[in-house]
C-alpha cells in the first residue's frame, strides 16, 4: 500500500491511496492496482461466482450486488476520512464489442448499456479524487461514453482517454483497450509504454514452461491447467495447422462448408495455432475452444488450457479461481478469465495514478 508522507509546519502528514473496484469480476484490475501499490479495499460485482477468486487472491472484500443498487454510503463505508478516494471499473463490454454491432443495427437493446451511466452516478455521489474506466475500443464511438466524459468534466475532473496496445505494458497478448483516467487534481494520462515491440512478452515466455498436456487432459498439480477434448475431425485439423496460420492451410477435406462460401472466406482468425515468439491473439471468453479463434497451442495438439489463458491475461501463475477440490465450471471460468482486465494493464493504470498523485497532491499540501 502506498502512503504519501508530507511535512507541513513541522508535522508529518500521511495520506493513504485507497480504491474501490466496480464490476470487479475475479479481480484482474484489482490485482494490477495492488501490484502497483494501491490499497484496493473492495470490489463490487453482481456475479457471486467471482467472490472466492476475488477475495482469496486480493485480500479485499467482495460485495455481491448490482452497481445499479449501490450508493455513496455503500462505497464511502470502506474509506477512512483522509483517504485519497479512487473509483475504478470496467463496465460489461458485451454491448459495445464489435462482435455485437450487428445486433445493435437490428434495433436490439441491452440493459448493460445503462451501467456506464450508473458508474457516472456513483462518481457524482462519491466524488472520488481519481477515476479510471477500462473497456473495449469500440465504446469510444458510442454516445453513452461521450455522456460519461462530459458528466465528469462538468463535475470538475480533468479527463483523458486513449486506446492502448496491451503488449506496450507487459501483457503477452495483442489486445487493445480503451483506458480513461480522470482527476480532480490536474491533467492525467496513462504512462508511456513500458515495453518496445522487440521486447514484448511472448507466448513462449509466458506459458512455455507449463506441463505438456494432451487434449482433454488435466495437470494433476494444477486443476486449472486443463484443456478441452477435441473431436476426431478437429484433431486432424489441428495437426494440419501451423503457428500463425488458419484453416486456409488445410486440405479441402478438412474445411467447413462455410469456408467454401464467399461469406466465410473473410473469417481467417479461427482454427489456428498461436506463435511461440509473439504475443497471443486477444483472449476472449471462448479461448478454450480450438475453433473459436487462433487458440491452438503452438506445438501441442490441443487448445489452450484455462491456466494458459489466465497467464496470457497476465494473472499470476498461482492465481486461484476455485477452492481446492471444487468442481470447475469450464464455461463460467472462461467468462471469468476472458472478461478480466489484464493484470499488467491494471498495474500500469496503478503506476499512472501513483505518479500523478506524487506530483499533484504534494503541490496541494504545500499550497
CB within 8 A of 130, min separation 6: which ones?
84, 85, 86, 87, 181, 182, 183, 184, 185, 188, 353, 356, 357
Q: Which residue has the higher pLDDT, 246 or 79?
A: 79
Flag whether 367 is in a domain. no
Q: What is the pLDDT of residue 256?
A: 75
| Other beta carbons less than 10 A from residue 151's beta carbon | 18
Backbone angles phi, psi at 173, to 5 degrees: -160, 130
Flag whether 306 is in a domain. yes
Q: What is the pLDDT of residue 14?
A: 67
Pair (246, 135) in one structural domain: no
Pair (170, 230) in one structural domain: no
Pair (175, 305) in one structural domain: no
Flag whether 107 is in a domain. yes
Q: What is the mean pLDDT of residues 242-268?
A: 70
Q: What is the pLDDT of residue 317?
A: 97
Range of the domain at 245: 203-338
10 pLDDT exceeds 80?
Answer: no
**Longest Cα pair distance anywhere in the chain, in angstroms?**
81
Catalytic residue numbers read 93
Pair (216, 238) in one structural domain: yes
Q: What is the pLDDT of residue 118?
A: 96
Q: What is the pLDDT of residue 109?
A: 46
Q: Which residue has the higher pLDDT, 15 or 195?
A: 195
Instruction: Supply the mean pLDDT for the chain.
Output: 89
pLDDT one-digit tens code per residue, 270-326: 788 999 999 999 999 999 999 888 999 999 999 999 999 999 999 999 999 999 999
Pair (334, 348) in one structural domain: no
Q: What is the mean pLDDT of residues 229-233?
A: 95
265 pLDDT exceeds 80?
Answer: no
94 pLDDT exceeds 80?
Answer: no
Give the domain CATH number at 356.
3.40.50.150
Give the domain CATH number at 272.
3.90.120.10
pLDDT one-digit tens code per residue, 105-146: 444 445 666 899 999 999 999 999 999 999 999 999 999 999
Q: What is the pLDDT of residue 363?
A: 53
Pair (171, 215) in one structural domain: no
Buried b vs exposed e over 102-126: b needs ≥16 C-beta within 10 Å?
Answer: eeeeeeeeeeebbbbebbbbbbeeb
Pair (146, 261) in one structural domain: no
Pair (181, 311) in one structural domain: no
Domain count for the chain, please give it.
Answer: 2
**pTM, two decimal places:** 0.90
Flag whether 101 is in a domain. yes
Q: Which residue has the higher pLDDT, 349 or 268?
A: 349
Q: What is the pLDDT of residue 105?
A: 47
Q: Which residue has the higher pLDDT, 100 or 343?
A: 343
Pair (31, 151) in one structural domain: yes
Pair (162, 40) in one structural domain: yes
Q: What is the mean pLDDT of residues 219-224?
A: 96
Pair (156, 295) in one structural domain: no
Pair (188, 299) in one structural domain: no
Flag whether 192 is in a domain. yes
Flag whether 94 is in a domain. yes
Amino acid at each position: 500500500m502506498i502512503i504519501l508522507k508530507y511535512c507541513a509546519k513541522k508535522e508529518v502528514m500521511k495520506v493513504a491511496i485507497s480504491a474501490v473496484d466496480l464490476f470487479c469480476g475475479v479481480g484482474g484490475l484489482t490485482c494490477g492496482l495492488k501490484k502497483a501499490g494501491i490499497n484496493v479495499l473492495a470490489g463490487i460485482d453482481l456475479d457471486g461466482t467471482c467472490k472466492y477468486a476475488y477475495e482469496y487472491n486480493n485480500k479485499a472484500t467482495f460485495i455481491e450486488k448490482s452497481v445499479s443498487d449501490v450508493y455513496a454510503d455503500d462505497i464511502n463505508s470502506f474509506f477512512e476520512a483522509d483517504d485519497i478516494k479512487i473509483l475504478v471499473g470496467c463496465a460489461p463490454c458485451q454491448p459495445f464489442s464489435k462482435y455485437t454491432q450487428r445486433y445493435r443495427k437490428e434495433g436490439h437493446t441491452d440493459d448493460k448499456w445503462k451501467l456506464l451511466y450508473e458508474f457516472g452516478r456513483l462518481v457524482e455521489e462519491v466524488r472520488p479524487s481519481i477515476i479510471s474506466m477500462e473497456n473495449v475500443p469500440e465504446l469510444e464511438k458510442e454516445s453513452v461514453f461521450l455522456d460519461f466524459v462530459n458528466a465528469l468534466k462538468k463535475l470538475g475532473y480533468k479527463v483523458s482517454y486513449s486506446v492502448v496496445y496491451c503488449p506496450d505494458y507487459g501483457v503477452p497478448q495483442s489486445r487493445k483497450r480503451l483506458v480513461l483516467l480522470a482527476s480532480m487534481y490536474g491533467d492525467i494520462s496513462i504512462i508511456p509504454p513500458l515495453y518496445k515491440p522487440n521486447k514484448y512478452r511472448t507466448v513462449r515466455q509466458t506459458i512455455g514452461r507449463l506441463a505438456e498436456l494432451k487434449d482433454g487432459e488435466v495437470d494433476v498439480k494444477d486443476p486449472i491447467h486443463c484443456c478441452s477434448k477435441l473431436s476426431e475431425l478437429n484433431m486432424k485439423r489441428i495437426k494440419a495447422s501451423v503457428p500463425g496460420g488458419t484453416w486456409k492451410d488445410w486440405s479441402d477435406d478438412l474445411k467447413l462448408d462455410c469456408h467454401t462460401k464467399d461469406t466465410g472466406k473473410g473469417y481467417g482468425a479461427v482454427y489456428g495455432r498461436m506463435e511461440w515468439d509473439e504475443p497471443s491473439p486477444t483472449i476472449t471468453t471462448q479461448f478454450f475452444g480450438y475453433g473459436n479463434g487462433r487458440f491452438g497451442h503452438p506445438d501441442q495438439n490441443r487448445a489452450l488450457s484455462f491456466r494458459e489463458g489466465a497467464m496470457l491475461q497476465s494473472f499470476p501463475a498461482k492465481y486461484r479461481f476455485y477452492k481446492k477440490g471444487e468442481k470447475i465450471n469450464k464455461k463460467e471460468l472462461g467468462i471469468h478469465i476472458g472478461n478480466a482486465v489484464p493484470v499488467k494493464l491494471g498495474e500500469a493504470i496503478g503506476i499512472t495514478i501513483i505518479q500523478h498523485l506524487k506530483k499533484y497532491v504534494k503541490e496541494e499540501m504545500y499550497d
